[in-house]
Amino acid sequence: MTPEPRRPRLLYIAFYFPPSRASGVYRARATANHFAAAGWDVTVFGAPLRFLYDVNGSTDEKLLETVDPRIRVERPELNLYRWQYELREMSWFRGTMPTVARKFYEWRERRQFPEPYVSWGRSAVRRAVAMHRREKFDAVLATGNPFAAFAAAWAINRLTGLPYVIDYRDSWTLDLFTDGPNFPPRHPAWRWERRVMSRSSGAVFVNNALREWHAHRYPKAADRMLVVPNGWDPDLLDVPADRPPAGSGPDRPLKFGYLGTVTSVQPVEEMAAAFAEARKHPELAGAELNIYGHLGFFKHNHAQYLPRLGLNPQGEADPATDIGIRLRGPVSKTEVSAVYEESDALVFMAAGGKYVTSGKIFEYMASGRPIVSVHAPGIAAGEVLAGYPLWFHADSLDPHEVAETFVAAGRAAREATPEVRAAARRHADNYLRDNLLMPLEDRMREIVARPEDRP
């Protein structure tokens, strides 16, 4: 009997992995599942559960159930120094000599890697080398942020020779919100990025604008750069029924939905002001804008967003000043289909400039619902949405202009024909995640098979 060929072994370094529900976790989950289904033996290095539950406070147990059971998940240790606020949680050293402990921690961080997650990166390197000695990996794939994942891949390469590919689901040295540098000229992050890029066997970006920016900065690595857009996952989304979502009655107040984390860099006030003005139009009388998701990335950030959304400290609307915004709380990724089913139109609120795409927009398109854009003009997401027939957007963030797009989207929710909705879904089918990941998996197999092509 001929023995089965050995499955190639992949080490995937992805800090935000289920049960995390951080914005980048869906790309990480899909990538690991794709490689496992394609015949790879996949080991994931994720964040410690204590960080996800006690510090980040943003988890989704049901999402964890969607991870391919063949995937092995390891959780290297992370020093929680920066997130400890209670004396009983601190070490004896920090509790008795806090100033000395802080200086030592900051010195070690500056010396080794300029990021709070450097201890996790060190732990990942130690564990990877130990596991590689027992049973060899064939390649490393690292996704950032945090970018300690990239540094860990680089260090593993130096110690073992394993080829690695880095996946920029986020930008490291480019500020996506200003289109300028993220660090001053002599900051160590620049040196680290050059170091990591020079030894990588590939660098992956979510859109062509980001690939071009990095290719200009690192021309010697340009031929190893690849674009793998975000997409949507059919296993996490039951596409809503092909009917006008407002079809239960022409006079029923419309329901708009925003699904995702609300952040401090998004145009929250502009969105709220525009929706308040749009509700004055007869077609949007009594309309609601339902916010599904977390307010901020950490659980202690919640309160600061409430007044920006026109809500009181309890998260409720004051009847005297009600602008129609409702806080519905987080929704499990496995239950978002119900949100799309109940929403007549969707709100895409994003920050940043021409390099920003956002993973949420692909799922929005798959729903076939009208989409209202609330963001500055010219962001990379516009290239994705350009062929979507139910996209409504203004050329600025002026609340009056954005209000008009809310009204237009509401009208489309009532009047769009089955042919228009079908065209919208066909456009979304171009972004099925598994199809988009195929070139990356092909590239990884080439790297493993042809060691002479590595840098």
**Site of tokens 């980048």:** 24
* Of residues 97 and 445, more confidently modeled: 445
Evaluate whether residue 97 is within a structural domain.
no
Evaluate whether residue 91 is within a structural domain.
no
Shared domain check, 264 and 196: no
The answer to whether residue 242 scores a pLDDT higher than 90 is no
* Of residues 256 and 377, more confidently modeled: 256
The answer to whether residue 286 scores a pLDDT higher than 60 is yes
* Predicted pLDDT of residue 285: 93
* Predicted pLDDT of residue 91: 60
Work out the average pLDDT over 371-389. Answer: 91
Residue 416 CB contacts under 8 Å (≥ 6 apart), including other chains: 244, 370, 390
Evaluate whether residue 93 is within a structural domain.
no
The pair of structure tokens assigned to 439 is: 């070139």
How far from chain centre, in Å, is Cα 203? 17
**Site of tokens 């990021």:** 115
Shared domain check, 307 and 332: yes
| Cβ-based neighbour number of residue 133 at 10 Å | 9
Report the side by side order of strands in the sheet with 41-45.
Answer: 72-74, 41-45, 9-13, 139-144, 164-168, 202-205, 225-227
User: Which residue in 149, 131, 134 sits closest to 78, CA to CA?
Assistant: 149
The pair of structure tokens assigned to 156 is: 């593993």
Shared domain check, 426 and 438: no
* Of residues 26 and 248, more confidently modeled: 26
Residue 154 CB contacts under 8 Å (≥ 6 apart), including other chains: 164, 195, 196, 199, 200
Evaluate whether residue 96 is within a structural domain.
no
Residue 399 CB contacts under 8 Å (≥ 6 apart), including other chains: 270, 273, 274, 277
The answer to whether residue 238 scores a pLDDT higher than 90 is no
Categorize the per-residue pLDDT at 22 as very low, low, confident or very high, splitting at 50, 70 and 90: confident
Evaluate whether residue 206 is within a structural domain.
yes
Shared domain check, 185 and 48: yes
* Predicted pLDDT of residue 84: 53
Shared domain check, 287 and 224: no
* Predicted pLDDT of residue 395: 87
Residue 127 region by backbone torsions, left for phi larger than 0, else alpha for psi between -120 and 50, else beta: alpha
Shared domain check, 437 and 406: no
DSSP 202: E
**CA 310 – CA 270 distance, rounded (Å):** 12
pLDDT digits (tens, 9 = 90+) for 106-125: 666 666 788 989 999 999 99
* Predicted pLDDT of residue 80: 75
Shared domain check, 354 and 241: yes
Q: Under a CB-based contact definition with an 8 Å cutoff, are residues 269 and 399 in contact?
A: no
Q: What three-state secondary structure class fits 247?
A: coil
* Predicted pLDDT of residue 379: 87
Omega into 307 within 30° of 0, i.e. cis?
A: no
pLDDT digits (tens, 9 = 90+) for 181-226: 999 998 999 999 999 999 999 999 999 999 999 999 999 999 999 9
Evaluate whether residue 175 is within a structural domain.
yes
* Predicted pLDDT of residue 55: 81
pLDDT digits (tens, 9 = 90+) for 303-338: 677 767 776 666 677 776 788 888 888 887 778 888
Average pLDDT, the chain: 88
Evaluate whether residue 330 is within a structural domain.
yes
User: Which residue in 111, 131, 133, 334 sits closest to 233, CA to CA?
Assistant: 334
Residue 341 CB contacts under 8 Å (≥ 6 apart), including other chains: 240, 241, 245
Shared domain check, 239 and 144: no
CATH code of the domain containing 328? 3.40.50.2000
**CA 4 – CA 287 distance, rounded (Å):** 60
The answer to whether residue 398 scores a pLDDT higher than 80 is yes
**CA 135 – CA 154 distance, rounded (Å):** 20
Q: What three-state secondary structure class fits 137?
A: coil
Work out the average pLDDT over 274-294. Answer: 92
Q: Under a CB-based contact definition with an 8 Å cutoff, are residues 297 and 330 in contact?
A: no
Work out the average pLDDT over 228-238. Answer: 91
DSSP 56: I
* Predicted pLDDT of residue 2: 58
**CA 388 – CA 44 distance, rounded (Å):** 35
* Of residues 424 and 454, more confidently modeled: 424
**What residue type is 355 in one-letter code?**
Y
**CA 354 – CA 325 distance, rounded (Å):** 28
Work out the average pLDDT over 89-112. Answer: 61
Q: Under a CB-based contact definition with an 8 Å cutoff, are residues 173 and 218 in contact?
A: no
Shared domain check, 442 and 401: no
Q: Under a CB-based contact definition with an 8 Å cutoff, are residues 360 and 386 in contact?
A: no
pLDDT digits (tens, 9 = 90+) for 144-189: 999 999 999 999 999 999 999 999 999 999 998 888 999 999 899 9
- Half-sphere exposure in the Cβ direction for 261 (13 Å, CA): 21
Work out the average pLDDT over 12-35. Answer: 95
**CA 405 – CA 373 distance, rounded (Å):** 8
The crossing angle, in degrees rounded to 10, of helices 118-134 and 98-112 is 60
Residue 90 CB contacts under 8 Å (≥ 6 apart), including other chains: 84
Q: Under a CB-based contact definition with an 8 Å cutoff, are residues 327 and 291 in contact?
A: yes
**Residue 405 sits in which domain range?**
234-431
* Predicted pLDDT of residue 357: 82
The pair of structure tokens assigned to 241 is: 């029924």
Q: Under a CB-based contact definition with an 8 Å cutoff, are residues 390 and 374 in contact?
A: no
Share of the chain above pLDDT 70, in %: 86
Shared domain check, 405 and 334: yes
**CA 433 – CA 30 distance, rounded (Å):** 7
The crossing angle, in degrees rounded to 10, of helices 148-160 and 188-199 is 50
Categorize the per-residue pLDDT at 129 as very low, low, confident or very high, splitting at 50, 70 and 90: very high
pLDDT digits (tens, 9 = 90+) for 400-450: 999 999 999 999 999 999 899 999 999 999 999 999 999 999 999 999 998
Structural domain count of the chain = 2
Shared domain check, 274 and 139: no
Tell whether the torsion through CA atoms of 269, 271, 273 and 275 is positive or negative.
Answer: negative
The answer to whether residue 97 scores a pLDDT higher than 80 is no
* Predicted pLDDT of residue 222: 97
Omega into 234 within 30° of 0, i.e. cis?
A: no
The answer to whether residue 19 scores a pLDDT higher than 90 is yes
Evaluate whether residue 95 is within a structural domain.
no
- Half-sphere exposure in the Cβ direction for 379 (13 Å, CA): 26
Shared domain check, 282 and 358: yes
